[in-house]
Copies of this chain bind each other. A is one copy, B any other.
């Protein structure tokens, strides 16, 4: 309704409630300029906040961005960053509504996303109940596989390996599945930012339940499988513990009829924690397993 250039932006929120999520991304910690282009970083920074909004069952409407940039940052990098933000927003029909820019020794990106619930109740982390099913939508393991390939410095000799690396540079969250899950009666939902086991641990803790996963239920995507083969490791580790793909994980009533984008991977029972292969995986993740 009113965008950049004034003290503040004005965003329409017909619902009367606004969903808001904020993140800080730091060069060196969350991205590397030698591994990711400005365009990649813009898309990734936008994606992780838009996914947080979608994970509440809301439709993202706007981003505001605070930028810290070094004096010697090429203007082309900054342009590409802005393009990345705008393109990721366009996927969901949102826009960049405003921002702030300041000098800093490293690139710092503060992103805040807003969204509209369209009359739905927000889907929190605390609503999972025993007897319900756990399902995921979107990619799992791509970002971890791509990161491992970049770290190993191996040649990306196949399109599958290239796709894994692209998935690290830029997640593809299934935004539309957030509101869809809410409409289907999801009782708990989040986006997978730290790794599926760890994030489902948040649902288990907030809901006072145990989540049991069926490792056979996970379809390992070809890029993740190819990367694991290249590096001689177990792809399921990346699927279960890899972060930053921003898939959605949700809990539904057992009788739900899910569209094909959702894959049932487990169930909710009485107890606590997250079990896979019948054993509990701590919040510290895979290291405690095996």
Contact = CB atoms under 8 A, between A and B. Distances in A.
20 contacts: A2-B122, A2-B124, A6-B122, A7-B52, A7-B53, A8-B53, A8-B55, A9-B20, A11-B20, A12-B16, A12-B17, A13-B17, A21-B64, A22-B98, A22-B110, A23-B66, A24-B67, A24-B104, A64-B112, A108-B108
Given A7-B52, A104-B29, A22 B112 contact: yes
Given A24-B108, A66-B22, A5 B56 contact: no
Contacts of A12: 16-17
B21 A68 contact: no
Contact of A24 (B55, B110, B190): B110
A191 B58 contact: no
Interface in A1-57: 1-2, 5-14, 16-24, 26, 29-30, 52-53, 55-56
A64 B104 contact: no
Number of chain A interface residues as a range: 35 or more
A30 B142 CA distance: 38
Interface of A: 1-2, 5-14, 16-24, 26, 29-30, 52-53, 55-56, 58, 62, 64-68, 97-100, 102-104, 108, 110, 112-115, 117, 122, 124-125, 189-191, 206
